[in-house]
Structure 1
């Protein structure tokens, strides 16, 4: 229990809840800590969302399979990130995509009744919750818009533009294998390699095994597909 409480103290969303309160909620069952092994499914498509989940450690991804059968990673979530934050209060509170633990993962679950009570009694928690949900709803919506129903090149450009903003550089460092990058974009590895080669021939990028450099022509295509 102590190691979980120490993990929780790292995250802004949970800091406003006193450790003794969390212990009490865990004892009574309104909160729970669940462990998922690597590649375990956290939520299936269509599963009802009935609780707020805060990732304490590990890595969780949202995935979808496109019409060609390719696995697409829409978003990654790590310690301190939230699942179901806005979904559980919608009129259709069902997970639209699969949620998978990519590493051994621990998640704090807060049921809906306890969550409402925290909103009423702990305004600092409410403020942190609203800030998190507002910021990340925009980010996730943007990611989905940029990856769904796009050509391979458009998906690659959207991903690279996202990483350019995130890394604040026109030289994108690649911290994953080409197979993992293909899954992130939602294409086969061979299709990714072929399209990257075409983009280099067309003067959009230069790349090495560890980085991709964005050239002037890349930004012209980026503006075109982002509108």
Structure 2
């Protein structure tokens, strides 16, 4: 587990927690690690969740399926990031989405009860951990509101430009890489893949963007 401390230091739940204290926390929380193959489900919709997950290596997608079985990608979770915290801390602990490994992945699991309940050793860093957890949940809500902003746009073009502009702002560069292929991006934005591909070509031909696979460049800037 010590091999992953540098990754965990990048995780918001461990913000401002010293290296040695993270090691103590993992012991205090009885952290456990599991491996998942690409395509394997980490959690399924309807699961009773009492543990949040942290991606140590690999990548998982948070996916919601509609009545017809079509997937909508809610979020892309990469190394050092957290998932399932909302379900773990909710009243009934029921997960409303699927969590699927999209690459061979190693996941660290933490029991939510041990996060919010001081241990017998009354570890000083527990207060910091709880404060960080509140921040993590608040940030996740902000992220979901951002996605809601994308899918509430009327047209595929507006959804694309809004998403790409935010990616450019997040990286502070006109050139950036997105974490999705075309099919995944269409699912994430809740648009038809063919229509989205056509809009991308129109935006390119209009001199607004250039792209190659998942590498993009914004040639024009727009107000949000």
TM-score, normalized by length of structure 2?
A: 0.74
Is the 8 Å Cα contact of residues 54 and 109 (structure 1) preserved in structure 2? yes
Is the 8 Å Cα contact of residues 32 and 110 (structure 1) preserved in structure 2? yes
CA RMSD after TM alignment: 3.3
Q: CA deviation at 1:195?
A: 1.9
Q: Choose which of 141, 147, 155 in structure 2 pairs with 1:143.
A: 147
Relative to structure 1, is the Cα distance of residues 174 and 94 closer, same or farther in structure 2, using a 3 angstrom cutoff? Answer: closer
Relative to structure 1, is the Cα distance of residues 193 and 104 closer, same or farther in structure 2, using a 3 angstrom cutoff? Answer: same
Is the 8 Å Cα contact of residues 116 and 130 (structure 2) preserved in structure 1? no
Equivalence for 1:38: 38
Equivalence for 1:80: 80
Deviations 1:111-143 (A, max 9, x none): 233223358642232233233332233123322
Q: CA deviation at 1:96?
A: 2.4
Is the 8 Å Cα contact of residues 71 and 187 (structure 1) preserved in structure 2? no
Equivalence for 2:63: 63
Equivalence for 2:216: 211
- SS at 2:170 equivalent: helix
- SS at 1:60 equivalent: strand
In the alignment, the residues of structure 2 paired with residue 21 and residue 170 of structure 1 have an alpha-carbon distance, to the nearest angstrom, of 39
Relative to structure 1, is the Cα distance of residues 200 and 113 closer, same or farther in structure 2, using a 3 angstrom cutoff? Answer: closer
Q: Does 1:160 align with 2:178?
A: no
Is the 8 Å Cα contact of residues 72 and 187 (structure 1) preserved in structure 2? no
Relative to structure 1, is the Cα distance of residues 8 and 186 closer, same or farther in structure 2, using a 3 angstrom cutoff? Answer: farther
Runs of 4+ in 1 over 6 A off after TM superposition: none
Equivalence for 1:113: 113
| Alignment gaps of 5+ in structure 2 | none
In the alignment, the residues of structure 1 paired with residue 6 and residue 174 of structure 2 have an alpha-carbon distance, to the nearest angstrom, of 36
In the alignment, the residues of structure 2 paired with residue 21 and residue 167 of structure 1 have an alpha-carbon distance, to the nearest angstrom, of 31
Is the 8 Å Cα contact of residues 59 and 79 (structure 1) preserved in structure 2? yes
Q: CA deviation at 1:175?
A: 6.8
| Alignment gaps of 5+ in structure 1 | none
- SS at 2:79 equivalent: coil
Equivalence for 2:8: 11
